[in-house]
Structure 1
Amino acid sequence: MKALLFIETDGEKALGGSLELISAAKALDAEGTALVAGNRAAADTVAELGIPVIYIESATDCDTLTAVLSETVKEENPDLVLLANTALSKDIAPRIAARQNLGCVSDVTGMSKSDDKVIYTRPAYNGTILENIEVEGTAVVTVRNGSFSKPEAASNAGVTEKKIEIPADAVKAKIVDTVKEITESVNLEEAEIIVSGGRGMGSAENFELVKELASVLGGVVGATRPPIEDGWISRAHQVGQSGKIVAPKLYIACGISGAAQHTSGMMGSSYIVAINKDEDAPIFEIANLSIVGNVTEILPLMIEEMKKAKAQ
């Protein structure tokens, strides 16, 4: 089985979710080739992870990347095309699938082989169920961040530079200016520990306990929609279907009931601790550890104990 992996960069380095695609390909025993565009340093870094890299200098935006990937799919004829489930790749993936008449599966959280066919697992109905999908022929697949482990360094597999002519009519939109919003920088997608607060925290003052626990644990603060709408914390911290999709090693849900809109964004967490005074809260159905009680009384105790543990 041959797999083509699109490794997305942020202009400086390869995105962590894209690097996980290398582990995804290995899990399927697939012979992987990575495609990196516009950043030679990132291409060299990826090659050091033991996967051969095709480097294209010219492609930088959605239209040009779509053209380059479509042409590369023609040349390489892979059985599987993998992309991270980013905003850019969610635009690119269906375009490639449509142009090459391929199947397309989005937001995949797991992949397995059965009778030489690949089974793709993805959440559906706001994450309330998991569905398994088979695709006849080559599939273009976007993979949710955190679904696979980061790859380890291996022998350098080398970088091959290629030139692909991009037709003028391939560019449908031209970026004339970019205005960057001045906002808080929050890296929820790659955080290993996230402490999130919901409506149950009660007030902005109480929400400070969420921030303090996150600080003690060396984690990142997350939130559901109500605390953001009430102004307790900025929108950059929102976890959920309309926020960030996360998959940390530890997710602590404080005063969060567990609405599907939120849980669909954090179901990939390795270990979930939920604190809620309502013993019937839906969040407890997916939690590994459930704590029933007043979150404003429990969090100070947790903070105190964590501080003691770190002092030892």
Structure 2
Amino acid sequence: MEANCKKEILVVCDCSTEMNDHMAQIISKARTLADESDHTVCALYIGEKKESTIKVISECGTDLVLFGTSCKNVGMWQYSDIITDIIKERKPQLILFQATNLGKDIAAVISTRFEAGLTADCIEILYDSKEGFLFVRAAICDSVVAQISCINCDINMGTVKEGVFEISKIDRKSDMQVLDFTVHDDQGKYGKNEICLEVQQVEQIENEININKYATVFCIGRGASSPECVEAIYLLAQKYNACVVGTRPIVEDGIIEKARQVGQSGKSISPQLYVGFGVSGASQHLVGIRNAKKIIAINRDLKAPIFEYADYSIVADVTEILDELNKMQISVV
């Protein structure tokens, strides 16, 4: 795996899942950053070598993919060791991980090994010709958006939340290079000598809910938090095959689970249609819906901030709108 003469951006794909939109989003962003900073994009993928996977990785703008095959599941320490060897050989300047459980664990290990800065749960990554790569994330109990730069280290690293970047496809002028390698059982040498604090993790339902797979999303805000409204929204969601999500106050009030929270401290989404029921539109929530293709806002408050952001605004009582929508006979498949 010989290093390129150009500086490199390395995208580490979660080896516990197959190729998905989250990976494609990060590779697409890496391509944009590479074009701005005169870098190349290298993706690390361990899994079954499918033509469909190679096609997606190539279309998103990867210059080189390191394709690893293994006869068994690759664990966290083993994957960390593979990445460690790759970093030592290729010396990438920017490394991006998925903000999954495995991605976060590996990023923490790599950060410690190379004494490199790590920014978690990024919602944006920028390039400045003077300051280099800048990471944007929520901070101070999600009350502000912070811009972070890594100093005193040669490697910049960040974990990226799902849904914050859009998938883009490039018109390739040259073929993507593919380097194959085999994952051996003895790869795991570094982890054996490290002190590991085992933390018991409670499996949560949020790992089973993928709110990003829905084309239509209905969001519950404080203005629609009554039991009657919530029930009506869920009935409407069944009718239109939509996913129900909520703002942070709705989650804190126990109306919906944390896995359905959208915003800085929740998830970012990019549906074809977002409908906010009683959502005021705090900046922390708007960050999570900035990639929605169409936004419809329903709120009785004419001065609700979300109206300045929405494509279509309805100033009305949410209950009345829900009653009318549930009466309609139109259904969406």
1:169 aligns with 2:189: no
TM-score, with length taken from structure 1: 0.77
Write the distance in 2 (CA, Å) between the matches of 1:178 and 1:231.
21
- Per the alignment, residue 114 of structure 1 pairs with 128
For the 8 Å contact 1:59–1:68, the answer to whether it is kept is: no
- Per the alignment, residue 158 of structure 1 pairs with 178
2:330 is paired with a residue whose SS is helix
TM-score, with length taken from structure 2: 0.73
- Per the alignment, residue 20 of structure 2 pairs with 15
1:297 is paired with a residue whose SS is helix
- Per the alignment, residue 6 of structure 1 pairs with 12
Deviations 1:30-81 (A, max 9, x none): 31121123x2246x54322323322343663333332322222112111111
Identify if the C-alpha distance between structure 1 residues 207 and 93 changes in structure 2 by more than 3 Å, giving closer, same or farther.
same
CA RMSD of aligned residues (A): 3.9
Q: Following superposition of structure 1 onto structure 2, how do residues 136-155 of structure 1 map, counting pairs within 5 Å?
A: 136=151, 137-152=154-169
For the 8 Å contact 1:277–1:295, the answer to whether it is kept is: yes
1:35 aligns with 2:64: no
Deviations 1:76-134 (A, max 9, x none): 11111111222332232233122112222233333343327334333444555444333
Deviations 1:248-305 (A, max 9, x none): 3432221234467755644554543332223444545654544332111123445667
- Per the alignment, residue 210 of structure 2 pairs with 187
Report which stretch shifted further, 21-30 or 150-159. Answer: 150-159
1:24 aligns with 2:19: no
Write the distance in 2 (CA, Å) between the matches of 1:288 and 1:125.
31
For the 8 Å contact 2:220–2:250, the answer to whether it is kept is: yes
Work out the percentage of aligned pairs sharing the same amino acid: 28
Q: CA deviation at 1:141?
A: 1.7
Q: Following superposition of structure 1 onto structure 2, how do residues 1-312 of structure 1 map, counting pairs within 5 Å?
A: 1-11=7-17, 13-28=18-33, 29=35, 30-37=39-46, 39-41=47-49, 45-48=52-55, 49-50=57-58, 51=62, 52-56=64-68, 57=70, 60-115=74-129, 117-125=132-140, 128-136=143-151, 137-152=154-169, 157-163=177-183, 165-167=187-189, 168-170=192-194, 172=196, 185-224=208-247, 236-240=259-263, 243-258=266-281, 265-281=288-304, 283-284=306-307, 286-302=309-325, 307=330
Gaps in structure 1 of 5+ consecutive residues: none
Write the distance in 2 (CA, Å) between the matches of 1:296 and 1:274.
14
Write the distance in 1 (CA, Å) between the matches of 2:267 and 2:290.
12
Gaps in structure 2 of 5+ consecutive residues: 1-6
